[in-house]
Chains A and B, each alone.
Chain A
Amino acid sequence: MTASPARDPSSNRELSFQQPGTGSDPPVPLSGRAEETGEPRVFLWTVLTLLAVYASLRFVVPWISLWLGTSQIPVPVPRFAIGLYMLCAVIGALVYVNSDARRWRLFLGPVVRLFALPRERIRWPQAVVFGAIPLVIGALAWNRVMPSSQPPAQLRMQHPTMPQKYVSLENPFRKLPEAERQKAEAEGVILYQKNCRPCHGTSADGNGPLARGLRLRPVNFTDPGTIATVVEPYVFWRVKEGGIGLPAIGTPWESAMPAWSDLTDDEIWKVVMATYALAGKEPRKPEGASP
């Protein structure tokens, strides 16, 4: 049994599809189901691909950090990232199916059949889709207006702007002879273990004994995207002024780091040096000109 072609109810002419601007190419009929014509089910495959991407983000990616050893538990992918990646996937899918007229026709086929069939031919898939549309809109509206106790997600920046007074500072211990520098670093390690270890951990990996008690985990300095990407005065500023010294745009309410005003500047420089050494990282260095 073959499906009868989709027709325009007003003129009773068969519905057809023609890419605009293609000159005298004959219109491509939209009727005829893919499974009957032996052509690929582009719409179905597109939907399945998008579902597979979504499932990977929800259920596979959380385990990658566990396999990589960068976390001890599967860490879910935030909704923002899922939305971002799904947006890319949808754009990619649409670009792909639209980049070829035949593929686009095959993709549109089920959609057009769904909307263009006369009333007497409506079947359960159409009923489900048309019934779901107001339900989805209702659910979105509900989510939009429902009171929530959650604070809104915020744009956080990696390195808030350092105050000008810190910009030109230099670590006085870096330029000392090697033996004296090592001595200062060793003193810094002692200061670190006394003051910083409870949160940032013995090896500066953010896993100190108090770390689990904090809502926001202390920074893991062994991550290449943290202290290795900033110059030393930046770390000096963060230690000296702590979370409360962050500018408003740097979300100071999202840091439990105290301002270490009871340490002298020399002690802070030593701690900074020790932190880099314990994390196995180097401070970002001002760069010379290109060769």
Chain B
Amino acid sequence: MLSTLAALAAQSASVPAVDEVRTFLGWNPRSVVWFVAQLHLLFAAFVLGVPIFAVIVEFIGWRTGDQRYDRLAHEFTKLLSAAFATTAALGGLMAFVLFGLYPAFAGFFVRVFAPSMYGYAGLFFVETALLYLYYNSWDRLQNRKLLHLSLGILLNVAGTAIVFIANGWTSYMMSPVGVDASGAFTGTTSAAIANPLWMPLNIHRIIGNITFGGFVVGAYAAVRYLAARTPEDRAHYDWMGYVGNFIGLGALIPLPFAGYYLGREMYTVSPVMGNNMMGGDFSWAFILQALLVGLLFIVGNYYLWTGLSRIPGAERYQKYVKYLNVILVVCVAVWLTPRNLPVTSEEQLAIGGQVHPFIGYLGLMAAKNAVINFIILATFASLLLYRRANKTDLVPVSQQGRSARVVLISVGAAAVLLLAWYVAVLLRLDLKAYNLEPEKIVYVRLLALTVALPMIAAVAAVVLALRDRGKLAQTIYFLVVVIDCVGVLGAYGFVVMTSANPLLRQIAVVQWLILMTALLLITAIDVVLFHGAQSLGQIRWGEVPATTQYALLALCVDIVLTMGLMGYVRSGLREDWHIYGVMRDTSQWAFTPSYSQMARMVGGITLVFLTAVTFLFWLAGLTGTKPANAKARETP
């Protein structure tokens, strides 16, 4: 039936000859759609991101038998149910304003995507049913956890399908397919959804939603912590905030690479759109983005460092904080550096322009990629310090039995095999497909060589760990990855960008693979190394400075601003096109909004979102579970 509908769509859709745009109570229609769409996206990101980790947390609680996790997952889901109806209402409003204010565009859009829209609506019903079933059956299915978890997984499947369909519509506006020279849509709905930017956007948004959900949940916990009146509640919400920050930071680690992937695919779709993004109209937005994301990392790490005070034995690791802090700050400073500096007239004369002969290099992508990898490695190091803070008297790996050896060898083998696979991919690269001459193979071989170093380091790390030198193994492997990923590949990026620039994306992939394999293997070594270690004392949940909670609130505000800013960039990149290169916006409101307009709009959206979400969470709290102390007081 869907294919029949798709065929119908293909026959009837064509770009309307005359664009029709209306105002809403005299307001700029573009701003109205912008406001409603961004607000809807923020709620949707929360509603789609939180179930992913709610199910994981519930699963951990089930397997470990620790009821705290179960209570936490339940509380996450309670927040979801409060936000869900608002998300749906805003989605409806968005459709109405789109149809009302841009009827010609919306008409064409519906003709292309109608079958998927029916599917979308159907999935929404399914998701609604699953969400309320999942939430309301929590207590009833306490003894049938597998069934309850299955509901949660199905909820995520429905949510992911919904976001994938919506991403198809959004990405189609940037990279349309199936429209001929006369403006007639000759493709199918499924092909239109699976446009070149669809999957990069899916990946970016799914990871982004988890980050967003983590930080919003962290802020909720922070408010509850600050308002808590009993040690029990403070302990619970301190822990909840920690989990929120952990999820947010954890998902933030792969997010820059997912964003880079999306950006590279935009370059592939249109080098002009790519240039506008990083070097043109929107380049300063990326400096703002660097500031916001840099602050996410700095504040997230600050939360971890401050939280060390609640862990007995953590003072042993305080000495490393200063080095991690310097790395983070220097890297964020490089990330923030624009290629063209705003300069005064005299400075312009002294420099001979606006590109500084040394600092100008820090404004190029190769430098940015290098420092992002270093930021991620520093954040990972902070998480490791946190993990081992109260542990001592390690049990040697050689005395831990077979399972420890199996873990180390299998994770090490997986890391090496993954890297080896990519070396093979590089060496078989079809240079012609990359528009590169055969003699450029030398650049590919050199790149493959840079992967060999961490492969050797990974093998050495496993061998050392097996011989009870786990900490040395981690240190060596970590240093090799820093030197290779940040130093060698950072510098090599400058070489490749001038001589074989299509390979730049391969450098980013290599950096990411080296980084991720290192994170996996070092974590595996850490787990084995500290397995069975003595504890210097329990973590004193609820005994942290209030500044940590303000940090969680700052992270939430920061991530909302970042989402708003990047929404402006992604949508603005289409310039004056409804659908890039296919259907032009001919109205007087088609201009690209200025940065000051963007700042006002994104700031306003952030305020409205945070106010609305605060109200909704307060509403959810009215019927929520009683705090732990209340139950305790009731117990005779």
Contact surface of A with B, Cβ cutoff 8 Å: 19-23, 25, 61, 64-65, 68, 70-71, 75-81, 84-85, 88-89, 91-92, 95-96, 98-101, 150-151, 153-162, 167, 215-217, 219, 223-225, 228-231, 234, 249, 280-282, 284-291
**CB < 8 Å neighbour of B305 from A61, A100, A150, A289:** A100
**CB < 8 Å neighbour of B347 from A79, A85, A287:** A79
B441 nearest CB across to chain A (Å):
15
A161 neighbours in B (Cβ, 8 Å): 272, 275-276, 280-281, 575
B332→A88 contact, CB < 8 A: yes
A286→B435 contact, CB < 8 A: yes
B543 neighbours in A (Cβ, 8 Å): 21-23, 25
Of listed A92, A101, A158, residue having the most chain B CB within 10 A: A158
Of listed A101, A288, A289, residue having the most chain B CB within 10 A: A288
A79 neighbours in B (Cβ, 8 Å): 343-344, 347
A77-B359, A162-B272, A230-B275 provided; 14 other pairs, C-beta below 8 A?
A21-B226, A68-B358, A81-B341, A92-B298, A92-B329, A100-B308, A155-B342, A156-B354, A157-B281, A159-B276, A159-B279, A161-B280, A281-B498, A285-B434
Residue of B nearest to A80 (CB): B342
Q: Does residue B35 face the partner (Cβ distance < 8 Å to A)?
A: no
Q: Does residue B16 face the partner (Cβ distance < 8 Å to A)?
A: no
Of listed B299, B342, B433, B546, residue having the most chain A CB within 10 A: B342
Could you say which interface size class chain B belongs to? Answer: 35 or more
Q: Does residue B621 face the partner (Cβ distance < 8 Å to A)?
A: no
Q: Which 3 A-B pairs have the closest CB atoms?
A: A217-B352, A92-B329, A159-B279
A75 neighbours in B (Cβ, 8 Å): 350-351, 356-358
When chains A and B are docked, how far (Å) is the Cα of A135 from the Cα of B329? Answer: 32
B357→A158 contact, CB < 8 A: no
Q: Does residue B340 face the partner (Cβ distance < 8 Å to A)?
A: yes
Of listed A19, A70, A99, A217, residue having the most chain B CB within 10 A: A99
A20→B546 contact, CB < 8 A: yes
A99→B364 contact, CB < 8 A: no
B264 neighbours in A (Cβ, 8 Å): 287
Q: Does residue B328 face the partner (Cβ distance < 8 Å to A)?
A: yes
When chains A and B are docked, how far (Å) is the Cα of A288 from the Cα of B363? Answer: 25
A216 neighbours in B (Cβ, 8 Å): 348, 352-353
Secondary structure of the A contact surface, majority rule: loop
B340→A158 contact, CB < 8 A: yes
Known: A78-B347, A96-B322. A288 touches B342 (CB 8 A): no
A219 neighbours in B (Cβ, 8 Å): 353
A99→B355 contact, CB < 8 A: no
Q: List 28 A-B contacts (CB under 8 A).
A: A19-B546, A20-B545, A21-B234, A22-B543, A23-B542, A61-B358, A64-B358, A75-B350, A80-B341, A92-B326, A95-B329, A151-B345, A155-B340, A158-B279, A158-B363, A167-B272, A216-B352, A217-B353, A225-B339, A229-B501, A230-B279, A282-B500, A285-B434, A285-B435, A286-B435, A288-B502, A290-B509, A291-B429
When chains A and B are docked, how far (Å) is the Cα of A49 from the Cα of B435? Answer: 49
A70→B358 contact, CB < 8 A: yes
When chains A and B are docked, how far (Å) is the Cα of A20 from the Cα of B347? Answer: 46
A215 neighbours in B (Cβ, 8 Å): 348-349
Q: Does residue B302 face the partner (Cβ distance < 8 Å to A)?
A: yes
When chains A and B are docked, how far (Å) is the Cα of A167 from the Cα of B577? Answer: 15
When chains A and B are docked, how far (Å) is the Cα of A160 from the Cα of B272? Answer: 10
Residue of B nearest to A89 (CB): B329
**CB < 8 Å neighbour of B343 from A71, A84, A153, A234:** A153
A19 neighbours in B (Cβ, 8 Å): 545-547
B356→A91 contact, CB < 8 A: no
When chains A and B are docked, how far (Å) is the Cα of A288 from the Cα of B429? Answer: 12
